Chain A
Amino acid sequence: MQLRYVSSELGQGLRRNVSMHLAVVLTLFVSLTLVGVGVLFNQQASKAADHWGNQLQITVYLCRVNDSSAVCPNAVTDAQKTEIAAVVEDNPEVADYHFESSEQALGKARELYGDELFTGENPAITAEDMPQTLWITLQDPDEYEGITSAVQGLDGVSKVRDMREQVAPILESINMLQWVALGTAAFLVFAALLLVANTIRLAAFARRKEIGIMRLVGASTLYIALPFLLEALVTALIGVVLAGGALWGFMYFGIDELSANRLKFVPWIGWDEFWLAAGSVAILGPLLTLLPTLVLTRKYLKV
């Protein structure tokens, strides 16, 4: 097969139909970017769900000195802690539990927020400000209501918090963003498919004379279709590269710079997830252009 002929036909084809190719590239760029963003949100949602959901824990905050809660006239006593532990121990839904001291809680807070608030002559937060807590791991995270009502109201208990209730709104938001991105992408992917089909129809019409002669002199179907397939591949590759760049920008400026530095309590996606999204886009892009090209060239260029 003569590469020179195929490459010159490819160049001619791209120039002849430049506005249509541009439309395909731009539509592919936007739709693939949205697909990539959808994949990233999906990864973000599962990462967050894994991180928070797998802890399967309920946190019981015990009364501290000068507790703002109305049910806490005094700090929790050792006797109250023993009674709370006995109630938890007897509950069949509990898999495991442990106490966390005020000092341990302070240590955790320092890890999250840095040393600034906790050091110096007059620190903003001291161990006294941190409540003692009881961390309960459940057999089944959905069965949290029994233990919550059993512990709530015991003397020395300030409040009970299910971890998953706290993170549910964040997870829901990420999920919603994921579906918005994928839904919009689906419309644009459909538009891209129609554009590709139209481009091929136009290209086949513009080259009908050459194609007719090629068929008559015995050029193979692959040889006739090759310039069309290469045109489709070139537009797909440009679309993929642009979408990859946009996703890289989203990761670098959106996730790395802003979110990961400011909202540290959220487990953010990293570059592994970026490569997964970029890989999905790199596979989807060529498929979106090559599949309709293969189907339509079979129709228009039938020997």
Chain B
Amino acid sequence: MIRFEKVTKAYPGHPHPALDNISVDVEKGEFVFLVGSSGSGKSTFLRLVLREYRPTSGRVYVAGKEINRLASWKVPRLRRDIGTVFQDFRLLPNKTVTENVAFALQVIGKSRKEIKDLVPETLELVGLSGKGDRMPDELSGGEQQRVAVARAFVNRPMILIADEPTGNLDPTTSVGIMKLLDRINRTGTTVVMATHDSGIVDQMRKRVIELENGHVVRDQAQGVYGHQT
């Protein structure tokens, strides 16, 4: 589903590349934690998957497409196969929960009927039935992140990218979000999650890819956050 082949990404003006000759293969339906300290290359990894950047060298394949060669006008179609969740939720404050989720479908031209079917179904999946008319500021942090997950998943993407989705949440709420991501993963969606939350990584026991200074220093099935001795 995601394949990095000897990928290097260097930013102009930076002496060291953000990613340095890494090769990673993520299968369809996998749940992968991307761990590492700040500046280790996690965000660059996710941005390459989203084709916000092209690699400096090497090849990146996402959902069967080689993104190096993907024309700019084809990028929106690629992104419809990828859902994205961020630490800061990124909800539209002037839209209700339902409108926030529907927005993701509206802007890719889905019909009103599809939107009417998919949005309540997704809100139910994330546990927000009955809260569709609330505004984001009337919700708790955990609920806001559930709206963000609903918006990312409403189009049933093949891949879900989560960048520190529990970074702003307390441990109990974080567990709820992780259960939700796990449930989404069980529907066959590939989940790649960048995190600093060692408790969650240790608890979930999923594949862990650790990055350090742009290199993959660990790729472990059913791994934990820190190095196992």
Look across to chain B and name the residue whose beta carbon is closest to the beta carbon of A219: B107
Interchain CB contact under 8 A, B90 and A217:
no
> Which residue from A1, A209, A218 sits with its C-beta under 8 Å from B79?
A218
Collect the chain A residues with CB atoms within 8 Å of residue B77's CB: 218
Look across to chain B and name the residue whose beta carbon is closest to the beta carbon of A5: B106
A100 within 8 A of B: no
Closest CB in chain A relative to B62 CB, distance in Å: 13
Q: Number of A residues whose C-beta is below 8 Å from B?
A: 18
A175 within 8 A of B: no
Closest CB in chain B relative to A205 CB, distance in Å: 15
Collect the chain B residues with CB atoms within 8 Å of residue A213's CB: 90, 92, 103-104, 107, 151
B75 within 8 A of A: yes
With the chains together, A184 CA to B78 CA distance in Å?
Answer: 49
Contact pattern, A 210-225, Cβ under 8 Å of B = 1, otherwise 0: 1011111111110110
With the chains together, A14 CA to B14 CA distance in Å?
Answer: 42
Query: From DSSP, what is the main secondary structure of chain A's interface residues?
Result: helix
With the chains together, A250 CA to B72 CA distance in Å?
Answer: 49
The answer to whether A303 and B76 touch (CB under 8 A), given A209-B92, A223-B109, is yes
Closest CB in chain B relative to A224 CB, distance in Å: 8
B84 within 8 A of A: yes
The answer to whether A219 and B108 touch (CB under 8 A), given A209-B90, A213-B103, is yes
Collect the chain A residues with CB atoms within 8 Å of residue B151's CB: 213, 217
A-B contact count (CB 8 A): 55
Interchain CB contact under 8 A, B90 and A2:
no
Interchain CB contact under 8 A, B72 and A223:
no
> Which residue from B50, B92, B106, B112 sits with its C-beta under 8 Å from A216?
B50
Collect the chain A residues with CB atoms within 8 Å of residue B72's CB: 221, 303
Closest CB in chain A relative to B101 CB, distance in Å: 11
The answer to whether A1 and B104 touch (CB under 8 A), given A216-B50, A218-B78, A303-B76, is no
The answer to whether A212 and B90 touch (CB under 8 A), given A217-B155, A218-B77, A221-B73, is yes
With the chains together, A1 CA to B107 CA distance in Å?
Answer: 8
Look across to chain B and name the residue whose beta carbon is closest to the beta carbon of A212: B90
A-B contact pairs, 12 of them (CB 8 A): A213-B103, A213-B104, A215-B76, A217-B84, A218-B108, A218-B155, A219-B108, A221-B73, A224-B107, A303-B72, A303-B75, A303-B76
Chain A contacts to B: CB under 8 angstroms: 1-2, 5, 209-210, 212-221, 223-224, 303
Q: Which 8 A-B pairs have the closest CB atoms?
A: A218-B80, A218-B79, A219-B107, A217-B104, A218-B76, A220-B76, A214-B107, A303-B75
